[in-house]
Amino acid sequence: MDDDRRLFEKLCLEGFQSGLSWLTILRKRENFRRAFADFDYARIARWNERSVARLLRDPGIVRHRGKIEAALANARLAGDLHDEFGSLGAFFWSFEPDDADRPSRFDERSLMKLTETQESRALAKALKKRGFRFVGPTTAYAFMQSMGIVNDHTEDCDTRIEVERARKRFARPVSA
């Protein structure tokens, strides 16, 4: 979960998913990885308008100029985040909500209402302030879910326990 390349991939795919079905993105995931150099943001940061033109011709990905240009620009900015925080993981995990701010019960009904939070709004705002695009609060919350920064699996879901174990390994250290 703290692997910067994987975090960048998830952030990009969440942006490409905006307004589309997740199934569309999942079916194209390997094509995205190929087209975007396995989401090596240091490499992508050096791409130019020719790269945008190449990506717009690739039928294996979502060919939306704004989203493609955002992914390239966000790659440059990801390098800045890495330099400032030591890793993308350190930056993103700093938006992990306190348990007290989470729902007291995780059932399907309560989770269906949860599309953004105070923390996802803060994350989106921080990213936008740095120049990131396609990172609104709903996209930021979906990203937080996909990376385990929040665990929105229902109480009766076996994956909930698995995600909690992973969260304990990767969550930011508690300050003394």
d(CA 38, CA 33): 4
* pTM across the whole model: 0.86
Nearest one of 123, 109, 122, 105 to 10, comparing CA atoms: 123
Arithmetic mean of pLDDT, 134-142: 94
Tell me: the pLDDT tens digits for 43-85? Answer: 999 999 999 999 999 999 999 999 999 999 999 999 999 999 9
Q: Which residues lie closer than 8 Å to 54 by C-beta, 6 or more apart?
A: none
- Identify the structural domains of the chain with CATH numbers, from first to last: 4-170 (1.10.340.30)
Arithmetic mean of pLDDT, 118-140: 96
Helix crossing, 65-85 with 49-56: angle to 10°? 130
Nearest one of 61, 57, 13, 12 to 34, comparing CA atoms: 61
In the chain, where does DSSP find H-type helix?
Answer: 4-17, 22-35, 41-44, 49-56, 65-85, 88-93, 108-112, 118-129, 137-146, 158-170
Q: Residue 174: what pLDDT?
A: 44
**Residue 39 confidence (pLDDT) above 70:** yes
* 127 three-state secondary structure: helix
